[in-house]
């Protein structure tokens, strides 16, 4: 689907794009193919697409995979999609707010891949929601704001590293990102864009119950970025327990949250959950 076709559909239906829904449609064939390639999509795959828009990515996914489940909030676009893909039995379309739907319909995504050009304003909570699912998808390939992609993939001690890096990296390994120029979208977004690939870890670093405590721990550790981690954590755990944990794990007493890597947060979670 190229730009001319996109304009034609929008004109035909008299659709004015809604900025608050992040409606920046990707019309560059090369970038769309790169996104599908990052998904390593094969016919046996089940693919979740959030925010299909007019369906430029959907059509490439449908050509390569067995099943696409697409969630779009804008009913006007869903109507276009129903018409465009009327004779495609392997597409399931849902009109819904994807974040709310995911929260209200927990399910096992283990055998699924997310491949999507996400609405930027809800991209982070959608990715966190999927990553924290009981069965998280095997791969997340998401086009989002460049700065958010960098935050998710960041390593400890860097400027971009923070809560989002840890919440996603607990279950996923970042496998790189590529920048997508603004001129590839209609209309061009106000921010830079990138497509990020995350691959589920072969074995979870923590159990589901431990992961819940990990989330509480990192949220607290990053609740005030300039404050010492120990000071923040002692509002929730006894100070002597924290001090012995820090010594055993090798966390300096004066450390701030952003200097501690994922594996030490994992070790700290386990320590604090010891009976």
Burial of 275 (0-12, 13-18, 19+ CB in 10 A): exposed
By beta-carbon proximity to ligand SAM, the closer residue of 146 and 255 is 146
Q: Examine residue 246 and tell whether it contacts ligand SAM (CB under 6 A).
A: no
SS3 25: strand
Structure tokens that stand for 201 in this block: 């870890």
* Residue, CB closest to ligand SAM: 51
73 in Cβ contact with 52 (< 8 Å): no
CB atoms within 10 A of CB 259: 14
Question: Least distance in Å: CB of 261 to ligand SAM?
Answer: 32
Site string for ligand SAM, 34-73 (x = CB under 6 A): ----------------xxxx--xx-------------xxx
Q: How do beta strands 67-72 and 91-95 pair? A: parallel
**Window 82-121: residues binding ligand SAM (CB under 6 A):** 97-99, 117, 119
Which whole-number Å values give the CA distances from 215 to 107, 211, 258, in the listed order?
20, 6, 15
Sign of CA dihedral 78, 83, 84, 88: positive
Q: Which residue, 77 or 218, has its beta carbon nearer to ligand SAM?
A: 77
Residue number with CB closer to ligand SAM (42 or 191): 191
Instruction: Output DSSP code: residue 68.
Output: E
CB of 132 to ligand SAM, least distance (A): 17
Applying CB under 6 A, which part among 19-27, 128-136, 167-175, 245-253 lies near ligand SAM?
19-27
Q: Which H/E stretch holds residue 116?
A: strand 112-117
> Considering beta carbons, is residue 31 or 215 the nearer one to ligand SAM?
31
Crossing angle between the packed helical segments 262-272 and 239-249, to the nearest 10 degrees: 140
- Which of residues 10, 22, 65, 154 is near ligand SAM by CB under 6 A? 22
Q: Among residues 58 and 150, whose Cβ is nearest to ligand SAM?
A: 58
If one asks whether residue 24 binds ligand SAM (CB under 6 A), the answer comes out as: yes
Q: How many CA atoms lie within 13 A of 271 on its CB side?
A: 21
Query: Does residue 192 belong to the site contacting ligand SAM (CB under 6 A)?
Result: no
Secondary structure letter of residue 133 according to DSSP: S
Nearer to ligand SAM, 20 or 235 (CB): 20
129 is an interface residue for ligand SAM by CB under 6 A: no
Return the HEC string of 3-49: HHHHHHHHHHHCCCCCHHHCCCEECCHHHHHHHHHHCCCCCCCEEEE
Name which position in 115, 122, 133, 156 contacts ligand SAM (CB under 6 A): 122
Q: Give the chain's radius of gyration (CA, Å).
A: 21
Query: Which is closer to ligand SAM, CB of 125 or CB of 204?
Result: 125
Q: How many residues bind ligand SAM (CB under 6 A)?
A: 23
| Residues binding ligand SAM (CB under 6 A) | 21-26, 50-53, 56-57, 71-74, 77, 97-99, 117, 119, 122
């Amino acid at each position: 689907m190229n730009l001319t076709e996109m304009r034609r559909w929008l004109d035909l239906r008299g659709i004015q794009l809604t900025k608050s829904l992040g409606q920046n449609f990707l019309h560059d064939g090369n970038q769309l193919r790169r996104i599908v390639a990052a998904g390593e999509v094969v016919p046996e795959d089940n693919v979740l697409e959030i925010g299909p828009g007019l369906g430029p990515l959907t059509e490439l996914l449908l050509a390569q995979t067995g099943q696409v489940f697409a969630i779009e909030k804008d009913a006007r676009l869903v109507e276009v999609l129903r018409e465009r893909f009327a004779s495609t039995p392997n597409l399931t379309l849902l009109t819904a707010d994807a974040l709310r739907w995911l929260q209200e319909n927990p399910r096992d995504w283990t055998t699924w891949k997310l491949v999507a050009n996400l609405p930027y304003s809800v991209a982070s909570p959608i990715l966190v929601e999927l990553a924290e699912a009981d069965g998280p998808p095997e791969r997340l390939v998401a086009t989002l704001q460049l700065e958010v992609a960098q935050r998710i993939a960041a390593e400890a001690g860097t400027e971009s590293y923070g809560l989002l890096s840890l919440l996603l990296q607990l279950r996923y390994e970042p496998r790189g990102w590529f920048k997508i120029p603004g001129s590839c979208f209609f209309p061009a977004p106000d921010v830079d864009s990138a497509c990020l690939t995350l691959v589920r870890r072969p074995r979870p670093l923590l159990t589901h119950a431990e992961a819940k405590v990990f989330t509480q721990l990192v949220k607290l550790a990053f609740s005030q970025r300039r404050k010492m981690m120990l000071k923040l954590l002692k509002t929730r755990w006894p100070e002597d327990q924290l001090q012995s944990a820090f010594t055993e794990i090798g966390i300096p007493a004066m450390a701030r949250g952003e200097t501690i890597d994922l594996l030490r947060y994992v070790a700290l979670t386990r320590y604090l959950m010891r009976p």
